[in-house]
Amino acid sequence: MQVMPEKGAAGGGLREQKKRATRAALAEAAVRLAAEHGVENVTVEAISAAAGVSVRTFFNYFDARDDAFVVIDTDISARVRSTVLHAPAEVPPLDAVRDAIAAELAEAEQQHELWQLHAEVLRAAPHLLVRSLGAHLADETGLAVAIARRLRGGPADVPGTTATDEDARRSLDLYPRLLAAVAGTAVRVAVEHWSADPAERQFADVFQETFASLAAGLPAPPG
Amino acid sequence: MQVMPEKGAAGGGLREQKKRATRAALAEAAVRLAAEHGVENVTVEAISAAAGVSVRTFFNYFDARDDAFVVIDTDISARVRSTVLHAPAEVPPLDAVRDAIAAELAEAEQQHELWQLHAEVLRAAPHLLVRSLGAHLADETGLAVAIARRLRGGPADVPGTTATDEDARRSLDLYPRLLAAVAGTAVRVAVEHWSADPAERQFADVFQETFASLAAGLPAPPG
């Protein structure tokens, strides 16, 4: 069963769509310029010009230049969390997570080149890689919190819903932590495996095979 | 079924044991000094003195000062790979990986404080964190190669055994990549979860629960 992403999660109105497109254009411009010239040689002015916006607009989206390099799309995590939290009660947690991520990765084949550039930029700039890893681990924790809330009965009738993130994190059980972390790893492996030969298979096939193996308990494939 | 580690894998003789102990003492001294004074303020002389060996001996084990901070125990990966490769044919791959890692983590409760110090040292030194991540990903690939060889019939009768690592990496299937990466993630999650309250449970219990959840296909825990 495919759960559709809640477009409303990160705001679905036209205004929100335009904001998201502007943010994405700035992040893409930042990565492409950094890949070509090196992070240290890229200015906020150059990023803004490449994205067709003013420097002032840049600072509506990012507090500082380096922020534009850290995460390509911050909205993805919020949408995945929301989709997991709102998936029908009968959907097993692993399937809910798989479907939420699948909806976000629908554009993987188009985004692939940009992701690879982003990875190269981060590898060449350790201080950004560290920040990106921190953001990744925060996403993982956020997803674990969403899974934990879902297990306790969904978003509406959960006492913990209004607790702070810090509280939620401290009280995390093993299972939500594990599912969130393994799902993130499975996405990375699917992207890496598919990237090694993108012409051979569709990304969606590799992704579904990856999660099917997890759901089956990682059995040896039929020889 | 518990598969005993092949002590011979990384050399089991008295001489090898002494070399391993010296290397471990140097790595531990490096991490403790860096945690106290900061990586940049730690000299090879200080590390060697703290480990009770000469500077010349230090350079028998490490090419440069920074190498001592990157990985605490390089032998672990080699032993895990060897154990996976030599586990009895009837042991499922996930179990073989679990047992190989469990044997290496038997000292988790004693090593825990040192691992935490190591993580703090790496967090404070991005260039070392990047190198440590690189080493971690190389370990993951190495384990994937061992799993792939095991699936093709074990170490003796596999044509690929003498192929270079580079060849082996290129030809990796999805499953060995996935199992190696997920196992690494499961270890991280088990350590993190246990570390949050080490007094509550034994590490081995958390570790086994983690791998049991993987083997069962990550089902929701009984509510």
Report pLDDT digits (tens) over A32-90: 999 999 999 999 999 999 999 999 999 999 999 999 999 877 788 999 999 999 999 99
- The Cα–Cα gap between B124 and B38 comes to 8
* B92 to A151: CB separation less than 8 angstroms, yes or no: no
Residue A177 tokens, joined? 């932590």
Contact A111, A136 (CB under 8 A): no
User: Which pLDDT tens digit goes with each residue over A99-117?
Assistant: 999 998 888 788 888 988 9
Helix ranges, chain B (H): 14-37, 44-51, 55-61, 67-70, 75-86, 93-104, 108-123, 126-151, 165-170, 174-195, 203-215
Flag whether B220 is in a domain. no
Identify all chain A residues contacting B201, using CB atoms and an 8 Å cutoff.
none
- B158 is a domain residue: yes
Say whether B220 and A173 touch across the interface (CB within 8 A): no
On chain B, the residues whose CB falls within 8 A of the CB of A213 are 174-175, 178
Q: Do A221 and B192 touch (CB under 8 A)?
A: no
A209 contacts in chain B (CB < 8 Å): 174
- The pLDDT, as a whole number, for residue A34 is 96
The reply to whether B222 falls in a domain is no
Contact between residue A33 and residue A47 where contact means Cβ atoms under 8 Å apart: yes
- Residue-wise pLDDT for A145-185, tens only, equals 999 999 987 555 444 444 456 666 667 899 999 999 999 99
Question: Percent of chain A beyond pLDDT 90?
Answer: 61
Residues 6+ apart with CB under 8 A from B184: A185, B136, B139, B140, B143
Residue of B175, B184, B223 with shortest CB distance to A221: B175
| CATH code of the domain covering residue B45 | 1.10.357.10
The whole domain housing B129 covers: 7-215
Is A223 a member of any domain?
A: no
Answer whether residue B1 is part of any domain. Answer: no
pLDDT tier for residue A2 given thresholds of 50, 70 and 90: very low
Q: Do B188 and A196 touch (CB under 8 A)?
A: no
The Cβ-side half-sphere exposure at A40, using a 13 Å CA radius, reads 4
pLDDT value of residue A157: 43
Q: Are A149 and A161 a contacting pair, CB within 8 Å? A: yes
Q: Do B92 and A181 touch (CB under 8 A)?
A: no
Three-class secondary structure of residue B161 per DSSP: helix
| pTM listed for this prediction | 0.86
Answer whether residue A125 shows pLDDT above 80.
Answer: yes
Question: Is residue B184 a part of any domain in this protein?
Answer: yes
Tell me what pLDDT residue B158 has: 43
Residue A87 gets which letter from DSSP? S
Residues B94, A178: C-beta atoms closer than 8 Å: no
Residue-wise pLDDT tens for chain B (223 aa)?
A: 344 443 334 456 889 889 989 999 999 999 999 999 999 999 999 999 999 999 999 999 999 999 999 887 778 899 999 999 999 999 999 999 999 999 988 887 888 889 889 999 998 898 898 899 888 988 999 999 999 999 987 555 444 444 456 666 667 899 999 999 999 999 999 998 998 888 889 999 999 999 999 999 999 998 7
Q: Which of A131, A207, A146, A154 is nearest to A179 (CA)?
A: A146
Q: Is residue B34 part of a domain?
A: yes
B20 to chain A, minimum CA–CA distance in Å? Answer: 31
Task: Name every chain A residue with its beta carbon within 8 A of the beta carbon of B129.
Answer: 126, 129-130, 133
Tokens of A31: 């990565």
- Locate the chain B residue with the closest alpha carbon to A183: B182
For chain B, the residues whose C-beta falls within 8 A of a C-beta of chain A are: 92-94, 123, 126-127, 129-130, 133, 151, 170, 172-175, 177-179, 181-182, 184-186, 188-190, 192-193, 196, 206, 209-210, 213-221, 223
Is position A1 within any domain?
no
Total structural domains within chain A? 1
